């Protein structure tokens, strides 16, 4: 099969809502082709509709990939498809997250704990070796999003598994510093997302940064 070298291919995992959807939309508006991964089909379709309805000259496009990042076989098949079609990736943005409800450690729910580990930590560790060859092929960049909550009251499941995710990413960052791919960790400002609303119900959302503005800001730094 003859591969088409397309240097502006991005994979966004967790692309159906919040910051993940915003950064996928911004990438498409800037002419990228975005492979958008998420479990929520409706959210992915809304993303595609926004990109198409914008009608911007030179805008890119979106391939919808409704799947769960914790499904190793599905993600492995997707990465193989990306390789066969484009030869690699220029950017991977990992925004998939499970935000377990806040709870004291003495009342930690086993299902939420297992899902937090599976989504926030294990999936990251499994995806890195799948995606790394695709990024190497196109001298690409991986972008991860920090949200330092470890050790805060009631954030046990989320804080521990998010900290574990970032620890994995920092090891990968150190290992690839000389020869790539480039690994970037960014900390977005507080945004009025569903995740934050789950953590801070009733919060005044007016002072928070919009996901679109944060997506533009962080993409500009790349």
Q: How many domains does the chain have?
A: 1
Residue 108 lies in a domain: yes
In a domain, residue 219? The reply is no
For the stretch 4-48, pLDDT in tens is 445 599 999 999 999 999 999 999 999 999 999 999 999 999 999
CB within 8 A of 48, min separation 6: which ones? Answer: 36, 62, 64
Distances (CA, A) of 197 to 12, 20, 143, 165, 206: 22, 16, 24, 22, 13
Residue 4 lies in a domain: no
Q: Per the domain annotation, does 107 fall within a domain? A: yes
In a domain, 221, yes or no: no
The edge-to-edge listing of strands for the beta sheet with 91-94 is 61-66, 33-38, 9-13, 91-94, 141-145, 182-186
pLDDT 10s digits, 74-107? 999 999 999 999 999 999 999 999 999 999 999 9
Domain boundaries, position 46: 9-192
Whether residue 55 is contained in a domain is answered as yes
Q: 210 in a domain, yes or no?
A: no
CATH code of residue 130: 3.40.50.720
**Is residue 217, in this structure, part of any structural domain at all?**
no
């Amino acid at each position: 099969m003859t591969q088409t070298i397309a240097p502006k291919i991005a994979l966004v995992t967790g692309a159906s809502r919040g910051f993940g959807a915003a950064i996928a939309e911004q990438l498409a508006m800037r002419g990228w082709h975005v492979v958008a991964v998420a479990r929520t089909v409706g959210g992915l379709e809304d993303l595609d509709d926004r990109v198409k309805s914008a009608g911007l000259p030179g805008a890119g496009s979106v391939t919808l990939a409704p799947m769960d990042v914790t499904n190793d076989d599905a993600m492995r098949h997707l990465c193989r498809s990306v390789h066969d079609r484009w030869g690699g990736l220029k950017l991977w943005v990992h925004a998939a997250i499970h935000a377990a409800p806040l709870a004291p450690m003495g009342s930690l729910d086993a299902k939420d704990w297992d899902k937090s580990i599976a989504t926030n930590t294990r999936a990251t560790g499994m995806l890195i070796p799948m995606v790394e060859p695709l990024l190497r092929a196109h001298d690409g960049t991986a972008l991860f999003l920090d949200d330092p909550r470890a050790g805060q009251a009631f954030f046990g499941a989320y804080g521990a598994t998010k900290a574990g995710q970032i620890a994995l990413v920092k090891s990968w960052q150190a290992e690839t510093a000389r020869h790539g791919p480039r690994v970037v960790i960014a900390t977005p400002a507080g945004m009025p997302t569903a995740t934050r609303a789950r953590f801070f119900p009733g919060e005044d959302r007016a002072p928070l940064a919009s996901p679109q503005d944060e997506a533009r800001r962080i993409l500009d730094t790349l």
